[in-house]
Structure 1
Amino acid sequence: MTPALLAIACLLAVTLCYSGLCAVSPFGTCRKCRGFGFALTTDRKGRPKRGKHCRRCDGHGKRIRLGRWLYNRGSRIHRAGTR
C-alpha cells in the first residue's frame, strides 16, 4: 500500500468513527466546566465548593458536538430549500 492510500484510509476511518459517535451520542461534556455545570472554587480552608454557573453550557454540563451541529445545520438548510 502506498502512503497516500494509507493516509486516505486512516482519514476515512476517523471520519466514519466520529460520525458514528455524533449519531449515537450527539452531546459531549462541556470543556469549560468539565461536565459539572459550574466552576469549582475553593473556600478559605481549601475545600472545594460550587462556583459560578457555566455560561458556555448554560449549567447543563453538556454541549452539542461539532459534527452533530453541522449535520443539524445542513439538514435544516436542505429542509428549508426543498419546501
Structure 2
Amino acid sequence: MHPLLTLAIAAATIAALITLGYAGLCWVSPFTTCQRCAGTGRTTTRVLRRPRACRRCDRGMPLRLGRRVFNFFHRLRAEATR
C-alpha cells in the first residue's frame, strides 16, 4: 500500500470521527454556555458596570452552531415534503 494513501485514509477517518463526535454532542446536548456571560444571562455595562441582560444569548444557554445547522436543514426538508 502506498504511504500517501495510508495517510489520506487515516486523515479521512480522523475527520469523520471528529464530525460524528460533534454531531453526537449536538444531539445529546444542543445548548452550550454563553462565552460572554458564562451562562448567567447577565452582563455589565462598560461605563457604570450596571448589570443587564446578555445581548448575545438572552438566557445564558444558546444553541450550538451544529444544532442550528441541523434545525435549518430539518425545516427545509419538512417544508419541501409538504
TM-score scaled by length of structure 1: 0.81
| Residue ranges of structure 1 left out of the alignment (5+ in a row) | 42-48
Q: Which has the higher strand share?
A: 1
User: Post-superposition shift, 1:77?
Assistant: 0.5
> For the aligned residues, what is the CA RMSD?
1.8
1:1-83 → structure 2 map (5 Å cutoff): 2-39=6-43, 51-58=51-58, 60-83=59-82
**1:16-73 C-alpha deviation (Å, 9 max, x unpaired):** 10000000001111111111111258xxxxxxx8722101111x11000011101100
Q: Give yes or no for contact 1:38–1:50 (8 Å, CA) kept in 2.
A: no
| Residue ranges of structure 2 left out of the alignment (5+ in a row) | none
Q: Which amino acid aligns with 2:11?
A: A
Q: Which has the higher helix share?
A: 2
Q: Which amino acid aligns with 2:33?
A: T
Q: Percent identity?
A: 45
